C-alpha cells in the first residue's frame, strides 16, 4: 500500500485473504446482472486505458475514505504494465447518437504466472457507470478461467464480492496457492470476452 505523505510502499498481508475460486461454477453472476449483460451494454476491452483505470481507482471514494494508491504506486503499476505484468479490463460505453466512447468502469491487477492479484476497481457515476465494474469483473473471471489461471486474489472480501462467490482463506492456504500459481507459464493475451460459457 502507498503512504501519500512519506512516498513509501508497504506490502499488504493479513491473516486471511479474499479470493475468487476459479473452479467451474464457483463464480456466481446475479440474475439481474446476467439479464443486463445479455443486452451488451458495454464494449469490454483490456489494456486499452490502463493508466486511466488506475488513476480513477486512485481517487477518493468519499470524504471519509482516504487514498491508498499514491503516485509512487501509480508509477510502479505503470512499470509493471509496460513489462506485461499488470493489466486492466475496461467497460466502454458508446453514445448511440454521437458515437463518443466513455470509460464507464474498470478493474486492474498484477499478473504473475497463473496468479492475478486484483488491486482495485471503479465505476463512473450512474447512469453511465451502472453495472460497469461488475461487468468487468464477470468478463475478467471468464478470461482467467479460459487462460487457466489458478488464483484470483482480491486481498480481502466484503458483502459486495461475496455476492459473486468471493471467499476467505487462511494466509497459509493463500501462500500455498500463490507459490504454485506463480510457477505456471500463462499468457494474458489474447483477450476475447467469453461469457457465460467460460464461467
In a domain, 51, yes or no: yes
Calculate mean pLDDT across residues 76-93.
Answer: 96
pLDDT of residue 3: 47
Number of domains in the chain: 1
Q: At what angle do helices 50-57 and 71-82 cross, to 10 degrees?
A: 150
What's residue 153's pLDDT? Answer: 97
User: Which pTM was predicted?
Assistant: 0.89
4: in domain: no
C-alpha distances out from residue 24 to 4, 95, 106, 164, Å = 40, 35, 24, 13
In a domain, 189, yes or no: no
Q: Give mean pLDDT, residues 181-188.
A: 95
Return the pLDDT at 4: 43
How many helices and strands in the chain, by DSSP H and E? 6, 7
Closest residue by Cα to residue 70 from 164, 7, 161, 140: 7
Quick one: average pLDDT of 88-103? 93
DSSP SS3 for 90: strand
Please name the residue ranges forming H helices in the chain.
Answer: 31-37, 50-57, 71-82, 132-146, 159-162, 171-181
Residue 29 lies in a domain: yes
Task: Tell me which residue range forms the domain holding 78.
Answer: 17-181
Reply yes or no: is the peptide bond before residue 46 cis, omega within 30 of 0.
Answer: no
For residues 194 and 27, the answer to whether their CB atoms sit within 8 Å is no
Residue 5 lies in a domain: no
Q: Answer yes or no: is 6 within a domain.
A: no
In a domain, 139, yes or no: yes
Task: For the chain, give the mean pLDDT.
Answer: 89
Which among 54, 57, 75, 76 has a CA at the least distance from the CA of 67?
A: 57
> Domain of 28: which CATH number?
3.40.630.70
pLDDT tens by residue, 111-120? 999 999 999 9
The cell for 55 is: 488513476
Is 113 within the bounds of a domain? yes
Euclidean distance between CA atoms 61 and 89, whole angstroms: 20
21-50 confidence digits (pLDDT tens): 999 889 999 999 999 998 999 999 999 999
Task: State the pLDDT confidence band at 64, using cuts at 50, 70 and 90.
Answer: low
Residue corresponding to grid cell 481517487: 59
Amino acid at each position: 500500500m502507498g503512504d501519500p505523505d512519506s512516498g513509501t510502499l508497504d506490502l499488504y498481508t493479513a491473516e486471511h485473504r479474499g479470493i475468487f475460486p476459479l473452479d467451474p461454477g464457483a463464480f456466481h453472476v446475479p440474475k439481474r446482472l446476467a439479464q443486463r449483460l445479455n443486452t451488451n451494454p458495454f464494449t469490454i476491452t483490456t489494456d486499452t486505458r490502463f493508466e486511466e483505470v488506475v488513476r480513477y481507482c486512485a481517487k477518493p471514494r468519499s470524504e471519509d475514505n482516504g487514498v491508498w494508491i499514491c503516485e509512487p504506486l501509480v508509477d510502479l503499476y505503470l512499470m509493471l504494465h509496460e513489462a506485461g505484468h499488470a493489466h486492466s479490463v475496461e467497460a466502454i460505453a458508446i453514445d448511440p447518437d454521437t458515437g463518443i466512447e466513455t470509460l464507464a468502469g474498470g478493474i486492474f491487477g498484477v499478473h504473475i504466472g497463473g496468479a492475478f492479484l486484483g488491486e482495485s476497481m471503479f465505476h463512473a457515476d450512474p447512469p453511465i457507470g451502472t453495472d460497469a465494474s461488475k461487468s468487468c469483473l464477470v468478463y475478467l473471471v471468464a478470461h482467467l478461467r479460459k487462460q487457466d489461471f489458478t488464483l484470483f486474489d482480491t486481498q480481502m472480501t466484503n458483502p459486495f464480492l461475496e455476492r459473486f462467490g468471493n471467499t476467505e482463506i487462511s494466509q497459509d492456504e493463500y501462500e500455498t496457492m500463490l507459490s504454485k500459481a506463480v510457477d505456471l507459464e500463462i499468457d494474458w493475451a489474447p483477450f476475447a470476452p467469453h461469457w457465460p460459457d467460460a464461467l
